[in-house]
Structure 1
């Protein structure tokens, strides 16, 4: 139903609006009092008061403590790489563009609450029956406005605000994931450098043993079997070096790409061997409830629930009547100069009231679709919360297990070093065969590699734990840039 009132200029304003207001009230009572109410509520997620495996002496961390968790490692090159990546990585730049898009779409929805004003300029030329020609010029201003009586447009704005907040949280989530990815690749790089050095040291020892074996073969003290065994062991260790060097190059390339640079851009800076970054023993933990508030992915899903509920509310109000007001003010004259003096004035005000009467159930179907969207958002939120809790517990369990493993591996490495030393001494005295020497050398190399890998795994566990705790995001300005960010330090 639609009722377009005629143009009026001589009626009393209050009397002019009486009819549409009364009709709107009648339509609301008669046709829209049965607005759908979606009362479905998701089941609350039980959040533990503390983590199962957190150390009793671990301090509780605030978001500020975890915002730049990589500084706890005390590794300046890693810190510089992470901060450079946060400023130049394509995934962050894309998330910033998504945020700007969400803000622009919200602004479009806000603009719908305000009147729209337009202007027009016209000129006509007409000719009468006696061939007399005349010109007429006009200029006017038009205005239109649809009052948001029932809050439908307001709900759309609320959904837009929630989408903006979700985009902000997504950008923060990109920071969290990127910082962890850079740290993991950097730790892998330093671990490969350490393993490469171990392989080179063992290769030097095996080449020395091979030389001794060849001398003993020439002296008739050993057979060619021992010489071939020594040559085989040396070649086996030497074969590991190219593989480690290739992995090192790939790690440098990965770090360059993460920082928004072409592969090879960091080769010079990262060639120097440096120790593995090690996190302090005392963890900066956060309580489970604080972790859920810190994690950007949880907040993304929370804002998506708000947006879905707001969209549902807006869809429910699509059955309500809508009132559209319009007005115009125009000047007309026979000449352009007369428009400013002596022009005729025309003014009009119009109101149109419309309400749906029959749409074949389309709006009811849209409401059901939005209800399903709300339920999906709530389920996704619950799933994200459970996943967040699991990731923290898994990281704590992995960290504790790797620490315990390292204690035993250090004992095994010390024993393997002593056994290798004794085997070489006894072989020089002719008390054991060369196979014993080879076995103890292989055991020592394996023990050293296991210790190096486990130390790297512990540093990696810390990174994954801080990521699971929601650390790594920082406040953003209106453009999606880090607040107080500065030029990254040189590597």
Structure 2
């Protein structure tokens, strides 16, 4: 976008969701799960400021650690936003109230945190259901072997092994249900502390894991990264330097932009679409004095360092986003494998509980459960990586401008 002499009068930052809470909620509603949207809205209203959002997320993540829940790392701009920089670049460019839109940026971070918890909770419930079926099946096996052993048709060793497997299955069920409870507690922390209210919302949700229509995303427009607060803050500084009236030696139209696509592979781009490139790009007009403002500004003290820091910040944002996109592509590959295994599962040829049928039934059941586990894990991880792209890009994107994997239908 062109920047006039009055940078504050002409330069406009790119805010996530146009800076509107209603647009953010509409964007998340595309996942088709009203319970998720309700939880996000509760969380945003409960923690409307950077300080309250930071405290809320910190407490929720502490509950995750106590419950042995693995959380995706925050994006670099989130760590800077909440005063937890990890790298030299993050420490060098702290975010202040003057350089970012605190309310909107906190809404993005908090919405992503709630969504990530919700996806893990949904998958945990589905996994617990599989564990429950396994417990019931193994208990039937134990009872059948007890009868067989009493009649001399099964060895005591087989009965001991069956009881051991049943105990392991019961333990796995307890562990999965504990994880679900811990996730509910963490979501309640994010949503204002009303655990009973959160549980009520969860009971109204859909049983499946909500899948975005563009879950198999493999490329986003590079310009999307401009909504990140760290990039926005540096854009503002660069725009101010380029538009400094003290350097007004010529008529110049400076531009700050990011063009092309952010993706993990050039093969993902059709028709020779360009990979990303970053600004500022400067377009100058001829002047009588033979000197333009760009020449003056580019030699001003600190300007080169500012441009270098801008480029470093963009490179970091691109790397974070590419990593999340690459994980999604890897998950798509695992889906192909799981779907292929599903087609070759042995049929349930026997449903009896006598000792002769047990080995065949157990083999068939274990194979089916393995594929179910894989599909749920892949579905969960794909959506979590999609949420990670949301984090690293600083907010939502226009789904009509993204590129999807050819495996999208399988997802």
TM range (shorter): 0.5 to 0.7
Work out the CA distance in 2 between the residues paired with 1:443 and 1:266. 35
Which of 384, 388, 395 is equivalent to 1:464? 388
Q: CA deviation at 1:81?
A: 1.1
Alignment: residue pair count: 284
**Equivalent residue number for residue 140 of structure 1:** none
Unmatched 5+ stretches in structure 1: 1-60, 97-161, 314-369, 474-491
The 5 Å alignment of 1:143-182 reads 166-168=99-101, 170-182=102-114
C-alpha RMSD of the superposition: 3.8
Q: Is the 8 A contact 1:182 1:258 kept in 2?
A: yes
Which of 387, 391, 395 is equivalent to 2:324? 395
**Equivalent residue number for residue 39 of structure 2:** 81
What SS does structure 2 have at the residue aligned with 1:445? helix
Q: Is the 8 A contact 2:109 2:391 kept in 1?
A: yes
Work out the CA distance in 2 between the residues paired with 1:66 and 1:396. 24
Q: Does 1:455 align with 2:379?
A: yes
**Larger Cα-atom Rg:** 1
Q: Does 1:220 align with 2:152?
A: yes
What SS does structure 1 have at the residue aligned with 2:182? helix
Q: Show CA shifts across 1:101-127 (max 9, x none).
A: xxxxxxxxxxxxxxxxxxxxxxxxxxx
**Equivalent residue number for residue 239 of structure 1:** 171
**Equivalent residue number for residue 119 of structure 2:** 187
The 5 Å alignment of 1:6-405 reads 67=24, 68-89=26-47, 92=50, 94=52, 166-168=99-101, 170-261=102-193, 265-271=197-203, 274-281=207-214, 288-305=221-238, 371=301, 377-405=306-334
TM-score by length of 1: 0.50
Work out the CA distance in 1 between the residues paired with 2:378 and 2:341. 13
Higher strand share: 1
What SS does structure 1 have at the residue aligned with 2:169? helix
Work out the CA distance in 2 between the residues paired with 1:166 and 1:394. 27
Q: CA deviation at 1:209?
A: 1.6
Work out the CA distance in 1 between the residues paired with 2:198 and 2:134. 29
Q: CA deviation at 1:181?
A: 0.9
Where relative contact order (Cα < 8 A, 6+ residues apart) is larger, the structure is 1
Work out the CA distance in 2 between the residues paired with 1:224 and 1:380. 71
TM-score by length of 2: 0.59
Q: Show CA shifts across 1:379-402 (max 9, x none).
A: 442222112222332222221221
Q: Is the 8 A contact 2:145 2:355 kept in 1?
A: no
Unmatched 5+ stretches in structure 2: 1-15, 55-94, 247-299, 398-411
What SS does structure 2 have at the residue aligned with 1:276? coil
Q: CA deviation at 1:206?
A: 1.2
What SS does structure 2 have at the residue aligned with 1:166? coil
What SS does structure 1 have at the residue aligned with 2:30? helix
Q: CA deviation at 1:239?
A: 0.3
